[in-house]
Amino acid sequence: MPDKEWFSEWFDSPYYHLLYKNRDDKEAELFIDNLITLLHIKQGQKILDLPCGKGRHSVYFNKKGFNVTGLDLSPHNIQYASQFANNTLRFSVHDMRIPYATGEFDYVVNLFTSFGYFENEEENISSMKTLAQALKPGGILTIDFMNTPEVIKDLQGEQLQPRDGIDFCIHRKLENGFVIKDILFEDKGHKYHFEEKVKAMTKADFMALFERADLQLKQVFGNYRLEPYNEETSDRMIFILAKN
């Protein structure tokens, strides 16, 4: 693997969390509430959140009474999330390309477009197999990804986002099958350039990965209210899958 990959640098940077500090936690909690109802998750069941970021989804699942493990590649994310740890909520640094557990969890969640980061398709396959392998037989995997056709259709050119005295200049483009976001800014006399690069995966791309990981698609939703998926208008592609 490369020494430095865009996600290991950017997600571990304090500027990442500054840029996205205004994320809608209420929307995320509504999504989780809807998932709990849809999937009939029972008190005490085991959930794996991979990757978990700073733990906002893991913490909320745990507050609802579930036994949660959150894993993330970023040591800074896990250091932050660990302040919320308890007997039924734990966090560890882990790379999703590497198997973590076999048949241990009732549910696995991969949320907020946390897939498709890798240049090598074999690494995407390995990551999908890691998510599937962690499930108990019959367990359920939820993948929440951007609706790629809608994102490509509405790609903006340049955008300026001010945060706490820093002006983040963001440029979006489609290049070599990836949706790329260039992020440039200056702070304390230093110029910075980070990149977000996510494979422009379609529903068909995911279906091929699901087959490789022995996962059966049950439902596809188009937003956090769990309304039906429409390729042309939906905000998200939310896949509900069962381990065969």
Per-position DSSP letters for 180-213, written without gaps between them:
EEEEEEEETTEEEEEEEEEE---HHHHHHHHHHT
Give the model confidence (pLDDT) of 65-80 as tens digits.
Answer: 999 999 999 999 999 9
Q: What is residue 137's three-state secondary structure?
A: strand
Task: Tell me the whole-structure pTM to 2 decimals.
Answer: 0.93
User: What would the mean pLDDT of 84-94 be, rounded to a whole number?
Assistant: 98
Distance CA 154, CA 133 (A): 35
Sorting pLDDT into bands at 50, 70 and 90, what band is 3? low
- Torsion over CA: 6, 12, 18, 23 (sign): positive
User: What would the mean pLDDT of 19-31 be, rounded to a whole number?
Assistant: 86
pLDDT of residue 236: 97
Mean pLDDT of the chain: 94
